Amino acid sequence: MRLTRIGGPTVLVELDGWRVLVDPTFDAPGRRYDFGWGTSSRKTIGPALGPDEVGPVDLVLVSHDHHADNLDDRGRTFLREAGRVVTTRGGARRLGAESSVGPVDGLRAGEHVTVAAPRAGLPDLEVTATPCRHGPPLSRPIVGEVVGFAVRRAGEARVALWASGDTVLYAGLRRAVRSLDVDVAIVNVGGVRFGLTGPLRYTMDGREAVELIALAAPRVAALAHYDGWSHFRDGEAGLRRAVDGARPEIRDRARWLVDGVAVEV
């Protein structure tokens, strides 16, 4: 498997001939985006690769479509060229209403879809939505629906790729990862907070990410979505402190990707 971190949560995954893109974000830095309920964030780092440099993709996994740090304007344009899009149920309705985007599959946590191989000689892929809670307890009606993705080669039990999505660490996620046999994980971190909501966090900080990696025990845990936006309060510094202070087996699993550089894992 080859991973190329493009920026934020956006990672190109090359798996058995498939080209899979996670959460496409290609807007330039500098703009402030509204996140609802009086919250906002400014993008501070642009993508390492533009859409033309990424090239065609067979499958796009969109953990949620309603926050611009996971799907921005240029990312939405990119979806028009994608072979297949998998996202949340609500996201599928919204994106499906855009006539230029499709086909789009919408999943709730625990549901799955089989994506047929786009070219001869490639395996079909089974994509299962995994649970996320993008904030404190009872926040889902406010922050919206989010999922992660477990991607398997059809017919195999082992998860070739798990993308965590934007989430805090909570009981539902702990139960889910204990049931997965994961090869490579993409773990979104950052410790998102907003001044308006004080100490409430909307994604994992470094300490929680270390705990999640210990629970999931993937062969490789690629770290993502911890920089590039003003709403990351734990950020890269907090994540590095947590990883550096973790047990050796956790440090060995953690993989820091350099934006724009393809890495074999």
Which residue ranges form the domains of the chain, and what is each CATH number?
2-264 (3.60.15.10)
pTM of the prediction? 0.97
Q: Are 202 and 143 in contact (CB under 8 A)?
A: yes
From residue 229, alpha-carbon distances to 174, 186, 222, 234 in Å are 27, 18, 19, 11
Going by DSSP bridges, is the β-strand pair 2-7/10-15 parallel, antiparallel, or unpaired? antiparallel
Q: Is residue 101's pLDDT more than 80?
A: no
The string of DSSP letters for 1-49 reads: -EEEEEETTEEEEEETTEEEEES---PPTT-EEEEETTEEEEB-S--SS
Q: How far apart are CA 229 and CA 46, in angstroms?
A: 10
pLDDT for residue 99 is more than 70: no
Average pLDDT for the chain? 96
The answer to whether the Cα torsion of 103, 108, 110, 111 is positive or negative is negative
C-alpha–C-alpha distance, residues 114 and 97, integer Å: 22
pLDDT digit string, tens, across residues 250-260: 999 999 999 99
pLDDT digit string (tens) for 143-197? 999 999 999 999 999 999 999 999 999 999 999 999 999 999 999 999 999 988 9
Q: Residue 227: its pLDDT value, please? A: 97
Q: For residue range 6-41, what is the model confidence (pLDDT) as tens digits?
A: 999 999 999 999 999 999 999 999 999 999 888 999
Cα 155 from Cα 159, distance rounded (Å): 11
- To the nearest whole percent, how much of the chain has pLDDT over 90? 91
